[in-house]
Structure 1
Amino acid sequence: MPIDLNFTDTGGDGTPLVVVHGLLGSADNWRSHAKQWQRRRRVIAVDLRNHGRSPHVAGMGYEPMAEDLLALLDRLDVSRAHLLGHSMGGKVVISLARLAPARVASLIVADIAPVAYGHDHDSVFAALRRVEAGEPTNRREADALLAEHVEESAVRLFLATNLERDDSGILRLRIGLDEIQGDYETIMGEPAGEGAFDGPTLVLRGAQSRYVTDEMLPALREVLPQAEIQTLEAGHWLHAEQPAAFQAAVNGFLEAVEG
């Protein structure tokens, strides 16, 4: 049964742009982009299950997550939307596009392919568990705990967006870490649905990322045959590393789709 997702909605007319974050992200990560996009269109940014301020529930399958998103569109009386998903969120929007293509005006997939990936989040989970056990009272303490397992400061800053202060002053994780780790195999698997989504599609990939390699393109085009592929000079977090180029690519694509 779908759950009620937390979301932000800028309001406005026309076909909305629905933004879906990646693993361990949230709608908050997209605030600066939403401020730019809302000048042109309505923007709805969501917290997926077990992320941000959405409920914690067992199961991270792509069909249930797509159904959560579809239920939100129904709740907001949105008949069709442009869907943008980064990383895990990209697999969610691909799943929705395959399961309910009539609801999708266009698809924007950021640095993910519709394939299964290997495990590479062990150090991240270890860092989050260290913070959970360490019960930091300030951001400096939290960063020091994260640094025991994660060297890259940018990654630690991203992970720290999942911390919020409780009534006793301790920074706690707001994500459903047990639920995410418990179904990590599914998260790393293929998106839900069968066949291809034939609607207009933009795939943005990072030149320094290994998530959408040239070797993956045949599999990608089987699922997204209309995909226009653009490569940005960035890594996996291309929307954070190259925000202006990311904005320009999304805006140009949506303007072309809407004529």
Structure 2
Amino acid sequence: MAIELHTLDGGQGEGLPLVVIHGLLGSADNWRSHLRGWQQGRRVVAVDLRNHGRSPHAAGMGYGEMAGDVLATLDRLGIERCHLLGHSMGGKVAITLARRHPERVASLVVADIAPVAYGHGHDAIFAALRAVEAAAPENRREVDGIMAEHVPERAVRLFLATNLVRGEGAMAWRVGLDEIEADYEAIRGEPEGEASFVGPTLVIRGSRSSYVTDAMLPTLREVLPEAQLVTLEAGHWLHAEQPEAFQAAVNDFMGRVEA
């Protein structure tokens, strides 16, 4: 059964709607600066996937389940056809939806992810989140100190901290951590769907990221045969590290699709 997802929905113009799907432990809120830019010429909808942001928590993090949630959201919002953009885990959700329902996807933008199963994990990140959960800290400074014992990169800690809310006297996580950890193997796995998506596709990767290597390109092109590849001087969070270049690449691509 599909989950009713929370969305940020705004903008207007002649362009086709753009639907944005965040990555693991992200949310629609992370995309607000990009949304303001894209909303100048079109309707833009950013979703919170299940167990993320302000969306409900539910068992099951399979790509078919999450793509089903997004499809139900498109139906609820009256969006028959759209540009679909997904980063990381959200990119696999977008690929799954595009493969299963290509008639709904005018174009696909995949940000720093390939349609493959990954071996690396998020053990340190989960350990940091659980340590914060156990300590029940009273403020963000305490949270950062606890996470630093597991995650040395300050930028990653700041990203994770976007999931903090104030609970009853302590800081707490708004993500469905139990549900995410329980089905983490599905998240690491391949996107679902049998057919290739043969519509217009843009793949944007970071030069300092290991998520879309040259060795993965043959598999990527089997699933996304029309993929155009753009490499930005960035790591995995390329839309945050190179926001202007990222937005320009997406705008140029959508403009060519709509021409």
Query: Scaled by the length of structure 1, what TM-score is found?
Result: 0.98
* Aligned residue number for residue 218 of structure 1: 218
Residues in 2 aligned to 1:131 and 1:5: alpha-carbon distance in whole angstroms: 26
Q: Secondary structure at the match of 1:42?
A: strand
The number of equivalent residue pairs is: 258
* Aligned residue number for residue 175 of structure 1: 175
AA matched with 1:66: A
Q: Secondary structure at the match of 2:181?
A: helix
Residues in 2 aligned to 1:107 and 1:75: alpha-carbon distance in whole angstroms: 21
Query: Could you tell me whether the CA contact under 8 Å between 2:11 and 2:41 is conserved in 1?
Result: no
> Is 1:108 the counterpart of 2:92 in the alignment?
no
Residues in 1 aligned to 2:44 and 2:68: alpha-carbon distance in whole angstroms: 19
Deviation at residue 83 of structure 1 after TM alignment: 0.3
Residues in 2 aligned to 1:127 and 1:39: alpha-carbon distance in whole angstroms: 38
AA matched with 1:60: M
AA matched with 1:195: A
Deviation at residue 119 of structure 1 after TM alignment: 3.2
Residues in 1 aligned to 2:134 and 2:30: alpha-carbon distance in whole angstroms: 25
> Is 1:140 the counterpart of 2:124 in the alignment?
no
* Aligned residue number for residue 194 of structure 1: 194
Q: Deviations over 1:96-116 (max 9, x none)?
A: 000100000100000000000
Deviation at residue 212 of structure 1 after TM alignment: 0.2
Q: Secondary structure at the match of 2:74?
A: helix
Gaps of 5+ in 2: none
Deviation at residue 136 of structure 1 after TM alignment: 1.2
Q: Deviations over 1:43-85 (max 9, x none)?
A: 1000000000111000000001000000000000100010000
Query: Could you tell me whether the CA contact under 8 Å between 2:100 and 2:195 is conserved in 1?
Result: no
AA matched with 1:233: E
* Aligned residue number for residue 81 of structure 2: 80
* Aligned residue number for residue 118 of structure 1: 119
Deviation at residue 134 of structure 1 after TM alignment: 1.0
Q: Secondary structure at the match of 1:15?
A: strand
Deviation at residue 170 of structure 1 after TM alignment: 1.2
* Aligned residue number for residue 232 of structure 1: 232
Residues in 2 aligned to 1:80 and 1:36: alpha-carbon distance in whole angstroms: 21
Deviation at residue 11 of structure 1 after TM alignment: 3.8
Residues in 2 aligned to 1:98 and 1:84: alpha-carbon distance in whole angstroms: 14
* Aligned residue number for residue 15 of structure 1: 16
Aligned pairs for 1:18-97 (under 5 A) are 18-97=19-98
Query: Could you tell me whether the CA contact under 8 Å between 2:9 and 2:46 is conserved in 1?
Result: yes
Query: Could you tell me whether the CA contact under 8 Å between 2:11 and 2:40 is conserved in 1?
Result: no
Q: Deviations over 1:180-215 (max 9, x none)?
A: 000000000000101200000000000000000000
Query: Could you tell me whether the CA contact under 8 Å between 2:108 and 2:201 is conserved in 1?
Result: yes
Q: Deviations over 1:141-183 (max 9, x none)?
A: 01001101000000000000111012x3311100000000000
Q: Deviations over 1:19-52 (max 9, x none)?
A: 0000000000000100111112111000000000
Query: Could you tell me whether the CA contact under 8 Å between 2:81 and 2:104 is conserved in 1?
Result: yes
Residues in 2 aligned to 1:253 and 1:170: alpha-carbon distance in whole angstroms: 45
State percent identity of aligned pairs.
70
